[in-house]
Amino acid sequence: MGNDLDTEAGVTSTLDEHGVLSVTLDDGNKNALTPEVFEALIAALDADTGARAVVVTGRPGILTAGLDIKWMAANGRDGVEHLLVRFGECLMRWWTDPRPTVCAATGHAIAAGTMLAMACDHAVADRDGFWGLTETRIDFEIPDFGLALARANVRADRLEDLLLPGERITATQAVDAGFADVAVAPDEVVDVAHRRARELAELPARAYAGTKSRLRGEAAEAVLGGLRADIALLTAHLA
């Protein structure tokens, strides 16, 4: 069953016979992220589809190239603040969705792409792709929502040496560090992700949702409670 969410934003969804909802980013280019994309990603989870699990994926060769730099340049500080607030809200919504969520990273997953993958319960990487929270290298601080996801996913002994210099790493290194869970051949990414989603969907839904809430709920609430203040502080130098 198909269900177009926002084709202008390059986000579509399809529910399969196993009850797995596939949410696909494909703008025909690099899947640059705008507020409209974040709104469509939230809408995908909020839609009453009866999905038992959710897979988010990109187009061949790319999950997402990250935030839309041209959009940011054209919309000034207010626009950048709006973009980052919506990004944080989107990631926290995905991170706390009660159903199993899996990222099929069909290519590079740099910066915002790495964050989107970490917001899912399981991430399958294209072994030819690159990963990393590279914000420092473009003179950008990592927002609190990105740090919360990193602390929950990345090995403690790798956290600072990866984030402070903004290291770009291979998919294999991303698995070792904790950004992703498994790296496979490019043509296997989507199938492996769907297989994992079906496996997780077989677990008792109430217990799965409750445990996820216990693991992440408090941290997500803290992020959302301070989100606007954090983004205002982060963008103050743009005034």
Per residue in 130-182, pLDDT (tens digit) is: 999 999 999 999 999 999 999 999 999 999 999 999 999 999 999 999 999 99
219 pLDDT more than 80: yes
pLDDT band (50, 70, 90) for residue 1: very low
The structure tokens listed for 183 are: 């790296």
Residue 39's CATH number:
3.90.226.10
Q: What is the pLDDT of residues 88-112, one digit of tens each?
A: 999 999 999 999 999 999 999 999 9
> Which domain range does residue 215 map to?
2-238
135 annotated active-site: yes
| Tokens 């996913």, residue located | 153
Mean pLDDT of the chain: 95
The tally of domains found in the chain comes to: 1
pLDDT value of residue 49 = 82
pLDDT for the residue numbered 201: 98
> What is the per-residue pLDDT for 145?
98
| Six token digits for residue 17 | 């016979």
Which pLDDT tens digit goes with each residue over 22-48? 999 999 999 999 999 999 999 999 998
- Only one residue has tokens 């998919």, namely 171
For residue 79, give the 3-state DSSP assignment: helix
Handedness of CA 132, 171, 39, 120 (dihedral sign): negative
Q: Given the residues 36, 39, 89, 135, select the one marked as catalytic.
A: 135
Q: What is the residue type of 196?
A: R
Confidence of residue 203 (pLDDT cuts 50, 70, 90): very high
